[in-house]
Chains A and B, each alone.
Chain A
Amino acid sequence: MIKVEVRLYATLRKYRPELEVGEPLSLQLPEKIMVRQLLEEKLGIPATVVKIVFVNGRQREVDHSLAEGDRVAVFPPVGGG
C-alpha cells in the first residue's frame, strides 16, 4: 500500500464536503494505482468532470500511476486573471 494526499478544489469539493478548503485527504491506496482509479473508484468523481490534475506540482493525465507520498490536487475547469 502507498500513502497519498489528495486535495479537491472548487466545485469538486462537493465530493468531500466535510473537508475545509485546501484540507488534504490522506488515503492508503494500492501500489501503482492510476489517478483515474483514485478519482472514480475511491472518491466517486467521474474523470470527465476533472480538468486538471497535479501530482507533486506537475500536471499529469488521469492514466498517471501514483507513488508513495504523492501530493495530488484535482481541479474542474477554472480560470481567472
Chain B
Amino acid sequence: MSKILRVNMTARTVAFEAVPEKYKEMGGRWITSNIVCDEVSPTCHPLGPGNKIVYAAGIVTGTAAPTSGRISIGGKSPLTGTIKETNSGGMAGQKLARLGIKAIVVEGQPAEKGDYWVLKVDKDGAELLPASNSWLGKGLYETYPLLFDEFGEKVAIIGIGIAGERLMANAGICVNDPENRPSRYAGRGGMGAVMGSKGLKAIIIDDAGDPPGVPIVNKELFDTGRKKLTEALLAHDITKPGGGLNTYGTAVLVNIINEAGGFPTFNFRDGRFTGAAKISGEMIHEICTKRGGVGTTGHGCSPGCVIRCSNVYPKPDGSELVSVQEYESVWSFGANCGIDDLDITGELIRLCNDYGLDTIEAGVTIAMAIEAGLAEFGDGAKAIALMHEIGNGTPLGHILGNGAAITTNVFGVVRCPTVKGQAIPAYDPRAIKGIGITYAISTMGADHTYGYTIAPEMLGVSGKVDQFDVDKVDMARNFQHATAFIDASGYCLFIAFAILDIPSGLAGMVETCSGVLGTDWTVDNIGIIGEEIIRKERAFNTAAGFTKAHDRLPEFMKHEELPPHNVVFDVPDETLDRVHSLQN
C-alpha cells in the first residue's frame, strides 16, 4: 500500500499517511505540483516555515519500464518566486518508489538556523537523525563518501551542498549516480536552498531487505507497453545504442545549434561561437577515446536506462575529472563565457557538483560577473576563482550564488538573460522562436525542458518547422502538455525523441502508466493530464502575484539583433498570451 511520508522539521516528527484518493493516480511533477498547490500558500516566503518541499518518484519509476528513474522535487522557488518542479535521474527515484512511498512532504523548519538533520528512510520506516558536523560546510565529493560510509554503499542520497546550507537561490539538489558520485542534479530553481531552510542536509533512502516494490495493477498491459516503448527506444536513431545521444551525449547539440546560429555566445551577443567544435559532444567522445583511463561516453545515470547519454570525462592522465559534461553545462560555462576548453568547463561543472549548484544558472551568472567587469570573456582561471568565492561563502560568493538576476541587480548590468529570475538555457530565442515561447510562458521561469520545441525546430523530430516562424502557439502548447505528462510518468524526457516519431512507442508509454495504475488511458490522456498540471501551476503563480507581464523575455532581446542572422525576438506579446488563453 503506497503512502505519503510527512516530515515536520519544527516538531521533528515523521508520520506515514494514506494517500488521499485524489492523488492516487499521480506521480512525479503531477503530485508535487498538486501537493504544493493544496498545502503551500502562494504568498509564503520560499525559505520560511510556510513553504514545503515535496519529493516524488514518477508513476512507473521503480518498475522495469526503461529509462524511468526520475525523481521530481517541488515547492515554491526562491529563485523565481513561482511554483517549481525540478527532476533528476540518479539512484533515488527507483528506491523511493520501491519502498512504497508516493511522496515525501517536508514542512516547517527548525527554530535554530544552521541546525541540520538527515532523514533516513527504509522498509521499516523513517527517522530524523542529527547531521554530523563532519558532513557540513564542505564539498559533496568529500561529504558523499562519508555518508556512504555511515549508511552503506547501496543507499541513495538526495543531498544539498554548501550552496544549499547557505540558502543560496542557485542551490540545486544532488542525487548520487550508480557509482555513487554526487553528480546528478535536480538543479533548477534553487530548491537546494528550500531543503537547506528546512534544516535537511540529506535524505538517505535504503531499499535493502524486501521492500514492497511498485504494485502493477494490469501486468499484461504494462508488459505490452514496456515492450513497445523499449522497441521504439532501441530503433530510433537518436535514442538507440550507438545512436546520437549514446555516442556523443547531449553535447552533440553544440554543433547543430551553433550552425543554426542559435548558440548563445558571449552572454547572448552572438549566435555562433568560433570555439564551438572544441566543446562539442564529438570532442568529448574523441577526448574520452584518446585519453582513455576512466573516460566513458554512453554512461547511464540510473539503472535501466537504455539510452545512456551520460559521460565520465577524463583528465589528460586518464583519471576522472568529472561526470557529466552535458550540453547545457558546456554551453553555460563554455560559449556563454567565451571559454572553448573542455578541461575548464569540466572543472567548473565539478565545482557545481561539489558546492551544490545548478550549472546553467552558475554559468550564466559567471557571464554576468564578466559583464560587471569582474573577469574577461574566455578567462577560465578567473571563472574558476569566482566559483570558489561561492564555495568560500564570501560576500561576492553570496551574490553569485544567488544567480544571474541578483548579480545583475547588484552590479547594474542590464543585459540579463533571465525569465522570472531564472537563467535562459542554451538556445537563443531570437534565432529559434518556439523555444522562446516556452521560456516566456513557463510556470517555472526560463526552462527548455518545459516544452522542448527544439525537436521539430532544429532536429527534425516530429516533423520539421522553420526556426524563424513566429506562429507556434499550438506547437508550444502541445509540447508543454506532453512534457508535463512525461514529468508525471517518471520517464526521462529524452524518451520523447523516440515516441514523438514512433506512434507505437507513444502508445506503449501510456500503456505502461495505465498498467501500473489500472487506468484505461489512451494517448489523448497525455494532453488532458498535461493541461491539468499546468492549469494548477498557473493558478498558484497567479495567486503568488504573477501576471502575463511576467510571461516575457528580457527586453534587450526585442531590440538587440543576434548575429549571424541579425534577428530580434519578434513573437508578438499577444501570441505569447494566446498559448494559455484558450486553456484558462
Contacts and interface: CB of A to CB of B under 8 A. Distances in A.
Bin the interface of chain A by size: 20 to 34
B-side interface size class: 35 or more
B250 A81 contact: yes
Interface string A7-34: 1011101000000111100000000000
Given A10-B282, A81-B493, A54 B461 contact: no
Contacts of B239: 79
A81 B282 contact: no
A22 B249 CA distance: 17
A76 B256 CA distance: 10
A52 B459 contact: yes
B87 interface: no
Q: Is the interface of B mostly helix, strand, loop or mixed?
A: helix
Interface of B: 236-239, 243-245, 247-253, 255-256, 259-261, 271-272, 276-278, 280-283, 286, 309, 326-328, 448-449, 452, 454-455, 458-461, 464, 466-467, 493-494, 497, 564-565
A76 B449 CA distance: 23
B460 to A, nearest CB: 5
A62 B272 CA distance: 23
Contacts of B309: 80
A66 interface: no
B329 to A, nearest CB: 12
B289 to A, nearest CB: 12
Contacts of A21: 255, 277-278, 280, 282-283, 286
A20 B281 CA distance: 13
A77 B242 CA distance: 12
Contact of A80 (B250, B277, B466, B564): B250
A59 B277 CA distance: 19
Given A21-B280, A22-B276, A73 B259 contact: yes
A76 B493 CA distance: 21
Contact of B247 (A11, A51, A54): A11
B567 to A, nearest CB: 10
Given A76-B237, A77-B236, A81-B454, 13 more contacts: A10-B247, A10-B252, A11-B244, A21-B280, A21-B282, A22-B277, A52-B256, A52-B460, A57-B259, A75-B255, A78-B244, A78-B256, A81-B449
